[in-house]
Structure 1
């Protein structure tokens, strides 16, 4: 009996700089991922927010679960800067996470710099074409 194709949740168990972005995905650690990403202290995860244009605290459950290891969260909101909603800002503030929304390109560049400085940084990156 054949098991068929097994689809697993996308996860890279470590921290790595993002080497490239665009065409609907990202490259990091000599791998590529199609779709959005969460870059957390515990690793890099595939991420599918319910509505990329209207992020909610539920979209950040994994971030909030690792709040004790995160000081700064960079939120790459696609090609344009989109402010975070009041409920999301409040949830992150309560978890003592400073959130900084910006375009995905700016978030990738800033994440790489802060990661190289060994800072307690995380990033939520919405894929861009």
Structure 2
């Protein structure tokens, strides 16, 4: 008999974010504790190595799906933080326009652009 199997958090579809706060998000009648990547291939649990100092490595999955993404909204928590130059360069090289903003603003903007069927993705740092 096998024990509990913990799988990588993944929702295989696109869905608006219904709520955020308390360290997580609600979407598609589910909840997730922690940060999220909302990509064309689905919604993934995401834990950047150091949220205040995001790196190119934190966005490997985004870069892998670059052909399907035009706009990347980066929810940087409760405060707006600029993206590091190396990350901006890596995204620009694959023709992704990155817009950092507070997580709340990123959630609202993501939902609007998703409803408009735009080529949007979001990297959302959880807030309390």
TM-score, normalising length: structure 2: 0.99
Q: Which residue of 1 aligns with 2:18?
A: 19
Q: Which residue of 1 aligns with 2:111?
A: 112
> What 5-or-longer segments of structure 1 have no aligned partner?
none
Cα distance per residue 1:15-67 (max 9 Å; x no partner): 00000000000000000000000000000000010000000000000000000
Q: Which residue of 2 aligns with 1:96?
A: 95
After TM superposition, the runs of 4+ consecutive aligned structure 1 residues lying more than 4 A away are none
Q: Which residue of 2 aligns with 1:81?
A: 80
Rounded to whole Å, the distance in 2 between the matches of 1:6 and 1:52 is 27
Matches within 5 A, 1:52-71: 52-71=51-70
Rounded to whole Å, the distance in 1 between the matches of 2:111 and 2:118 is 10
Tell me how far 1:99 sits from its aligned partner: 0.1
Give the secondary-structure state (helix, strand or coil) at the position aligned to 2:52: coil
> What 5-or-longer segments of structure 2 have no aligned partner?
none
Q: Which residue of 1 aligns with 2:43?
A: 44
CA-based RMSD of the aligned residues comes to 0.3
Counterpart check, 1:72 vs 2:32: no
Aligned length: 128
